[in-house]
Structure 1
């Protein structure tokens, strides 16, 4: 068992850190950090212990915060986080991803930046923003945001991103060019003869299976999907779920066939737990079958939602699963979803949950 486990939380009023003991039984909370800025995503680097937090808004501007001492002190930078003069200004940072020595940053309006100096400065990757389909991108309910960055674990030039509402895009050359990868995902809100466009889908979550970079899972505004060819084609796996709508998904840290999902009751029905009864849904066979995991979760009056980046797993054995709610609770399972308990309450709206395990 690892010595130290951290849950890194982004919230509407700063970043928070929950530290668990070796048995994942006792938890201590620290925060808010980042001067209580709106923080959309917090990630950790298990190799160094460094923590990065991205956020901001139209008032503060965008920034990436970082801490080298597990949250005791923080610095931040926005150097280079800007669009060219005459374009819509960058409002906020929405997503972060570390891979192959680089920090990638997704922002609103949707575009991508890269840092090669540990978050001190940022360089735009303009080919995505300049993609020919860009005039057809439309803001989703949360805005036109690049909210997921999924690096390839071996190939530093390969990267998937998810944009609402534009869809999934992939680069094979480090961001010099981009290809839409949305074939098979629906637009239920489009005219019937336009339900499967090349771009314009409102993807909500995108995760990569452990040990199999070609196996991706996607929760969309209009269904749950699986791809076995790195997003070139998508297959619906929503049969057996209580809803086609939801936000977060999380992949098991070792088993590529296991994925966790948190469906909500629908886009126009309140966006809370189906029947106000909380459950995390798990598939052990790539979405062919689903099981509702409810033990320890509220089974009545559960009118909370869970946002797109607010569910995560740890790499311990058995894997821990965690999610944070719009009403400020954090729920944890130390047995891959079989049982749950609430480990924090009364936080601001939780925008993201990530884990970091240190020896």
Structure 2
């Protein structure tokens, strides 16, 4: 049976699903789904084919949508997505991750929830917000959001999360207790003698290298980093990049040394592609060397950005790479970034891009 690759797209006005055969030369696009709610993240469970979409805002409230028929019909639930009475209400769900049928959701204000029934009901993983550093957590430019959830592929007790602007936290025991993992990452916006705090870094994205759970890559507000000890320590790998600032990172599906980035020109200089020339930067050496991949991307007037969850790879050979812009263009490469083509134009602001490969 021929596989189909699906690109799952979250936007400010609903979710979209693009589909193609493994050649990835022709694509179909369906949507918008989820009644054009603001959707921050869309993923799929490869085991069941269920598509989940996270979203909401202060007007709609938080919810996770689910489709068991590849977008034809959807349901949504917010049952249990709430803090205790008297706490600041949850505005939206920002991120999703799934492992062995357990679905996790990161929310704003920052916290983590878990569902064991496909998103119909949720329970609060309270240990994270019980961490003694919580009074120090401050919102980043997008709010105080938990936007990265990294699950250990073999140990269900281990989870890493990224919070802007609190940093990276890790648990060994399924969320009962947590520890900061920010050693070596800068906070340039702090006074000079406080630029390496235990918490308070503005992490933008965390991804895990394939086949090596100890290797993590992090795009930060203040640099690009790699850890080879599960985030206990981080080292800078930004040398050779055009900027220390960007949002997304995407790992190769098989090669732990290969990573894709979309650097922007800086946090106060417009947050668009450096020199207004489109490029995705690739390393095949774990961040010790970088190359700009530009073929097929606009080389003038590229005044767009790429948000923190809006880049992904697929598991095909060669790997596909995808990213969406805040001006509504979805780009794809079927040759590991060597060349690019636009899959769609004029979508709403693209907030997330993920992939799944499943039988047709």
State the alpha-carbon separation in 1 of the partners of residues 190 and 263 from structure 2.
Answer: 22
Q: Which residue of 1 aligns with 2:283?
A: 283
Q: Is the 8 A contact 2:22 2:316 kept in 1?
A: no
* TM-score computed with the length of structure 2 as normaliser: 0.99
Q: Which residue of 2 aligns with 1:211?
A: 211
Q: Which residue of 1 aligns with 2:155?
A: 155
Q: Is the 8 A contact 2:246 2:266 kept in 1?
A: yes
Q: Is the 8 A contact 1:62 1:90 kept in 2?
A: yes
State the alpha-carbon separation in 2 of the partners of residues 186 and 235 from structure 1.
Answer: 10
State the alpha-carbon separation in 2 of the partners of residues 125 and 49 from structure 1.
Answer: 26
Unaligned runs of 5+ in 2: none
State the alpha-carbon separation in 2 of the partners of residues 29 and 104 from structure 1.
Answer: 27
Q: Which residue of 2 aligns with 1:133?
A: 133
State the alpha-carbon separation in 2 of the partners of residues 76 and 332 from structure 1.
Answer: 29
Do the aligned partners of residues 2 and 190 (structure 1) sit closer, same or farther apart at CA in structure 2, a change above 3 Å counting?
Answer: farther
User: In the comparison of the two structures, how many residue pairs are matched?
Assistant: 359
State the alpha-carbon separation in 2 of the partners of residues 216 and 321 from structure 1.
Answer: 19
Cα displacement string for residues 159-199 of structure 1 (whole angstroms, at most 9, x for unaligned residues): 00000000000000000000000000000111110000000
State the alpha-carbon separation in 2 of the partners of residues 112 and 72 from structure 1.
Answer: 29
State the alpha-carbon separation in 2 of the partners of residues 240 and 350 from structure 1.
Answer: 28
**Distance apart, 1:295 and its partner CA:** 0.5
Q: Is the 8 A contact 2:2 2:21 kept in 1?
A: no
| Cα RMSD (Å) | 0.8
State the alpha-carbon separation in 1 of the partners of residues 101 and 10 from structure 2.
Answer: 23
Residue 112 of structure 2: SS of its match in structure 1? strand
Q: Is the 8 A contact 2:332 2:343 kept in 1?
A: yes
* TM-score computed with the length of structure 1 as normaliser: 0.99
> What pairs with 1:139-178 in structure 2 (closer than 5 Å)?
139-178=139-178
State the alpha-carbon separation in 2 of the partners of residues 346 and 303 from structure 1.
Answer: 15
> What pairs with 1:261-340 in structure 2 (closer than 5 Å)?
261-340=261-340
**Distance apart, 1:289 and its partner CA:** 0.3
Q: Which residue of 2 aligns with 1:236?
A: 236
**Distance apart, 1:2 and its partner CA:** 5.0
> What pairs with 1:1-359 in structure 2 (closer than 5 Å)?
3-359=3-359
Residue 275 of structure 1: SS of its match in structure 2? helix
Q: Is the 8 A contact 1:2 1:357 kept in 2?
A: no
Residue 135 of structure 1: SS of its match in structure 2? helix
**Distance apart, 1:209 and its partner CA:** 0.1
Unaligned runs of 5+ in 1: none
Q: Is the 8 A contact 1:41 1:95 kept in 2?
A: yes
